[in-house]
Amino acid sequence: EAQVTQNPRYLITVTGKKLTVTCSQNMNHEYMSWYRQDPGLGLRQIYYSMNVEVTDKGDVPEGYKVSRKEKRNFPLILESPSPNQTSLYFCASSFGQGDQPQHFGDGTRLSIL
């Protein structure tokens, strides 16, 4: 089954404790992206990647890191999480350069205390 898989789905953690949210897709998509969704602000792009070893900042990259060592995986890293990073996070992938329909993962709800 074609899918985008994020883990974990839910995480409660404390300020400053490094965490990684994994994202994996099995559709051989070139394009992958991370978003956060907050009430009143909608979905905002954090980082995106157009292929292996090619990543670029979205609208709200501060406090996040990503890597794209393999085509299928695009982890999101919070080196020192802070409470303002409490949010609902989505990973997405597609063919092309973001001009094709995005396939979203189920979401990860992060709470940073």
Partner 1 sequence: RKEVEQDPGPFNVPEGATVAFNCTYSNSASQSFFWYRQDCRKEPKLLMSVYSSGNEDGRFTAQLNRASQYISLLIRDSKLSDSATYLCVVKGPLRSNTGKLIFGQGTTLQVKP
Q: Does 34 bind partner 1 (CB under 8 A)?
A: no
Q: Does 97 bind partner 1 (CB under 8 A)?
A: yes
Q: Which is nearer to partner 1, 60 or 112 (CB)?
A: 60
Q: Which is nearer to partner 1, 56 or 70 (CB)?
A: 56
* Peptide bond connecting 8 to the previous residue in cis, omega within 30 degrees of 0: yes
Q: Would you say 29 and 94 are in contact if contact means Cβ atoms under 8 Å apart?
A: yes
Strand order in the sheet with 4-7: 4-7, 19-25, 76-78, 65-66
In the complex, the residues that contact partner 1 under the rule CB under 8 A are 31, 33, 35, 40-45, 48, 50, 56, 58-59, 88, 90, 97-99, 101-102, 104-107
